[in-house]
Structure 1
């Protein structure tokens, strides 16, 4: 499956999960998160910037916690 289509499918699934959050199971949420990690990772691998980012991944993870 093309990466773009996989990203579109993921976005639709995330939007659907947001609309039906009360009825989604923890396993379904976990699966969505796993798919997001894979798709976002592939997008980032494909789009490597010429210059390094100013923020490290550690800084970004700290903001998420």
Structure 2
């Protein structure tokens, strides 16, 4: 649940940054990107699919059963 809340907070911050992109300084952008890397990495680490999903370049789209 903690990861979910962290993801929600990150999403809100990213949405706010998108609306105010022209006034954000470089350090704030760096902090948001670093947080996104950490959160998305944790999500992917925990959500390893049981069925192999073909790479995007294969042109195949996974079905809902595969996800």
Whether TM exceeds 0.5 here: the answer is yes
Gaps of 5+ in 1: 60-65
TM norm structure 1:
0.79
Q: In structure 1, what is the Cα distance between the partners aligned to 2:53 and 2:38?
A: 20
- Cα distance in 2, alignment partners of residues 52 and 27 from structure 1: 38
Give the number of aligned pairs. Answer: 57
**Larger of the two Rg values belongs to structure:** 2
Gaps of 5+ in 2: 58-67
Superposed, which structure 2 residues align to 1:17-36 within 5 Å? Answer: 17-36=17-36
Bigger share in helix:
1
- TM-score relative to the length of structure 2: 0.77
- Which SS does the other structure have where 2:10 is aligned? helix
